[in-house]
Structure 1
Amino acid sequence: MKKFILSLGAIAFLSLTATAQRNPNNPVETGMKIGGNMSTLSGENGQDYKPGVHVGAFVEYPLSYYKKFALQLELMYSMQGYKGIEYDQYDLTTYKINGTERLEDVTHHYLYLPLQVKYYVSDNFSVELGGQVGYMVAASGQYDMNRYNPVRNLVNPSSGLEEALFEAGYRSNKPKDFYEMLDYGVTAGFSVYLNNGFFISGRYYYGLQDVYKLDNDDKKVPIPAKTPGMTDEMYQQLIGQVNFINKHIKTDPLNNSVIQVSVGYRF
């Protein structure tokens, strides 16, 4: 919550500073916006879309005399994440599906710096292309989504398998152990301007960063050591279970995918 308040304070500071510097002879425009998100992580193990919010401030600089082209710099807070989907769980004796597990919903809090090149089709409509870079300031939920295993509901803290999963980085309560804090990607959108200073805009953002940090290392679960009292048959069964888990783990990249609709005001 503290980081969220600081983020909103930074956004307000940018808007107030830009407004204070404006004068009647300066064509630079400033404004603020607020709106809703529909976000997910896309990829082979992609999840369902989750609603969220965003709020930001911007400064727009004209790039041509008739303002056909303009450059817009923003500071924006964005609440993103995904709704978890169900996936199959297996019996480690028969290796047959015996049920499903549903991943938790996850929320990511980002602070972004979008930069957009705008083309004004008319005085009241513009299209925009650009990109943005951001930093994950907080996260909540089940962090190891992309590192789930097909027998999550069978392992327990006292098992050698659970210890092996922990050592491989599959278990943690710290977001930085799973996520790349830095995010960047491309955007495309449009804006409709009303005569009273208000506007409505839509934008799509696709992240180019693999959100899950551990996937970049592509670690597999190591074979646990044979413990005292474990028979050769039991140990071979454990090896087979670990190999089965490694075979079913999905480590393809997962990227932010966000649809945004905003309402804003230009000062």
Structure 2
Amino acid sequence: MKKIILAAIAVMAFGFTNAQQTRFGIKGGLNISTLVGGDVEDTKSLVGFHVGGFAEIKIFDKFFIQPELLYSTQGTKVDGPLGTDADLKLNYLNIPVLAKYYIVDKFSVEAGPQLGILLSAKANGSDFKDYTRSVDFGFNIGAGYNFTDNLSVGLRYTIGLSPITDNEIDNTEDYYDSAKNSNLALSLAYKF
């Protein structure tokens, strides 16, 4: 975890040294999230939101690095027996670092890793943070479209790479077959 944070800081520091090649912005939008894998059954998507800031650092002509800092509400709806449904709400401070390539002037594609720091975990209002991992690793893939030089929209899918809980993870097979985050995000961004 320390290596990822240090790498993100190094990328941001590089951006500050090339300020004329860096643009900063804010973004926010809609999350549609759920949990996938493991013995997760009878789940439905939960609607949430994300908000935060980013830096778009030009590396060369059409290639950029884009570190972000986002507050993100995620989770899932679980259908329990006899109508005992539950909303599992997981709030994260997500730090994605994306490689971004402009295919044409207005359209870009992006991909990269993400570190999520769990801020809270609740099931129908009851805290269950002690039963969840405090760090979540994921991988993003997405695309964006610039309406103007400042205003853009983006669509991104994030698949969790690490389990949300440490329960019953005894070997590699359990690790890969455990419940992980899955999130589809639609964003509106403004660059300064």
1:198 to 148, 151, 161: 151
The aligned residue for residue 191 of structure 2 is 266
**What is the aligned residue count?**
172
- Report the 3-state secondary structure (helix = DSSP H, G, I; strand = E; otherwise coil) of the residue aligned with 2:86: coil
Deviates more, 1:190-199 or 1:47-56: 190-199
Report the alpha carbon displacement of residue 83 of structure 1 after superposing the two structures with TM. 0.9
- State yes or no: 1:215 paired with 2:168: yes
Identify which of 44, 47, 58 aligns with 1:48.
Answer: 44
Matched, 1:127 2:52: no
Q: CA 1:101–1:215 in structure 2 vs 1: closer, same or farther (change >3 Å)?
A: farther
Partner letter of residue 109 of structure 2? V
Bigger radius of gyration among the two: 1
Cα deviation for residue 175 of structure 1 reads 2.3
CA distance in 1, matches of 2:31, 2:137: 17
Is 1:61–2:43 an aligned residue pair? no
* Higher strand residue share: 2
1:105 to 87, 95, 104: 87
Structure 1: runs of 5+ lacking an equivalent: 1-17, 88-99, 144-172, 219-251
Please tell me the residue identity of whatever aligns with 1:183: D
Match of 1:140 in 2: 122
Asked if structure 2 preserves the Cα contact closer than 8 Å seen for 1:22 and 1:28, the reply is: no
Is contact 2:121-2:129 (8 Å) kept? no
- Over the matched positions of the two proteins, sequence identity in percent amounts to 34
> What does residue 167 of structure 1 align with?
none
Q: State the TM-score, normalized to the length of structure 2.
A: 0.81
Determine the structure 2 residue equivalent to 1:77. 71
The whole-number CA distance in structure 2 between the counterparts of 1:217 and 1:175 is: 21
SS in 2 for 1:177: helix
SS of alignment partner, residue 167 of structure 2: helix
3-state SS, counterpart of residue 101 of structure 2: strand
